[in-house]
Amino acid sequence: MEKNIIYCSDSCFFCQRAYQLLEKRGIPFKKYYVKNQGDWNEVKEKTGRETVPQVFINGFHIGGFDDLSAADQSGKLDEILNQP
């Protein structure tokens, strides 16, 4: 499994913001596009949520863009990145 992934849709404004934040921080990530009901079912099963983006860093579920931004501002994102 990839360590840094985003379940996303390119038409999603908050997905674009998540990409920008990670790119600005130099954090590599892989996009998994949510295109059909099976994809949505996978997102809900893994996260308990039905929205995108859903961000995983170092295998840890961060949440959506607001959660990612808050983790970045609080220093929690750095803690997650520094875990082995």
CATH number of 5-81: 3.40.30.10
Q: For 21-66, write each residue's pLDDT tens digit.
A: 999 999 999 999 999 999 999 999 999 999 999 999 999 999 999 9
Tokens 């039905």 belong to residue? 50
Q: What is the value of pTM for the model shown?
A: 0.93
The separation between the first and the last C-alpha atoms of the chain, rounded to the nearest angstrom, is 15
- 3-state SS of the chain is CCCCEEEECCCCHHHHHHHHHHHHHCCCCEEEECCCHHHHHHHHHHHCCCCCCEEEECCEEEECHHHHHHHHHHCHHHHHHCCC
Write down the domain spans for the chain: 5-81
